[in-house]
């Protein structure tokens, strides 16, 4: 059953017969599409136009294969702020084994009491939660603030604010926070086999930069590259045992 197509028809207040009439096909053919059969490309485009939706919303796997995109890619957002709040929450809530976060401040997470509660709950349920924040005294943190046009001291102040907000997590078993002094090419958020990667760009603030949603499916993959990067930073970071 193609639930995306079925719901799109409901939202458009159209019946299979309406679609069949518009596309000059047999109504049974439309019913087969709803039951999961993949239409020909010209019919996919026609249905998407009729329903005023993107073809990718109805047949994401077919569109991905046609464009030669990796099966790892679940979504691509033009900006971090374009990632729905519900996506962040369900992303972390889905983790049962591992949550890994690599940022400089990640203040947008630290300021969200609901997300902090999710991290706490996941750790209490047995997931390993690792958070990597930039060391506020690192020259790379200062440089990032300047590059974003915030000023040299602002990014360090944001990190210190995040450290304060993360303080309640320090007493939660399964949560570990470390400080790193590496150049942050990307912010990485991992929940088991899923990753959200905030792709940084020089002179662009992180909320304005794109985010790619990946699923780790193979040993040699895009996701593996980011997971290995996280581990290298984690191994070189120092514990933030006392957050002040």
Across the chain, mean pLDDT equals 86
What does pTM read for this prediction?
Answer: 0.70
Q: How many residues does the chain have?
A: 244
- Please check whether residue 221 is in contact with residue 72, taking contact to mean a CB–CB distance below 8 angstroms: yes
Residue 38 has what DSSP assignment?
A: P
Total number of domains constituting the chain:
2
pLDDT at 204 over 60: yes
Tokens linked to 230: 């996280």
CATH no. for residue 107?
3.30.870.10
Q: Containing domain of residue 120, as a range?
A: 73-239
Q: Does residue 62 form part of some domain?
A: yes
For residues 109 and 202, state if they share a domain: yes
42 and 79 co-located in one domain:
no
Q: What is the helix (H) or strand (E) element at residue 139, kind and residue range?
A: helix 139-147
The tens digit of pLDDT for each residue in 2-27 reads 888 888 888 889 898 998 898 888 88
Instruction: Give the whole-angstrom CA distance, residue 157 versus residue 134.
Output: 11
88 and 56, same domain (yes or no): no
Q: Do 39 and 142 lie in a common domain?
A: no
Judge contact between 206 and 80, C-beta under 8 A.
yes
């Amino acid at each position: 059953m193609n639930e995306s197509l079925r719901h799109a028809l409901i939202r458009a207040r159209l019946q299979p017969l309406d679609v069949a009439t518009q596309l000059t096909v047999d109504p049974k053919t439309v019913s087969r599409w709803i039951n999961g059969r993949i239409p020909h490309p010209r019919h996919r485009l026609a249905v998407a136009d009729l329903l005023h939706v993107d073809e990718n919303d109805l047949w994401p796997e077919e569109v991905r294969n046609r464009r030669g995109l990796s099966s790892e890619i679940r979504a691509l957002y033009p900006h971090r702020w374009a990632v729905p709040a519900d996506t962040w929450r369900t992303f972390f809530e889905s983790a049962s084994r591992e949550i890994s976060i690599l940022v400089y401040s990640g203040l947008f997470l630290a300021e969200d009491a609901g997300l902090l509660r999710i991290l706490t709950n996941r750790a209490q349920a047995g997931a390993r939660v690792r958070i990597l924040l930039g060391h506020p005294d690192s020259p790379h943190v200062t440089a990032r603030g300047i590059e974003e046009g915030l000023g040299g001291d602002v990014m360090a102040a944001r990190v210190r604010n995040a450290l304060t907000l993360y303080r309640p997590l320090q007493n939660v078993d399964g949560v570990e926070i470390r400080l790193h002094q590496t150049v942050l090419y990307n912010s990485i958020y991992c929940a088991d086999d899923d990753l959200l990667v905030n792709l940084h760009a020089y002179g662009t603030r992180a909320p304005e930069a794109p985010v790619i949603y990946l699923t780790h499916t193979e040993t040699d993959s895009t996701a593996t590259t980011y997971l290995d990067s996280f581990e290298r930073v984690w191994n070189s970071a120092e514990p933030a045992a006392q957050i002040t």
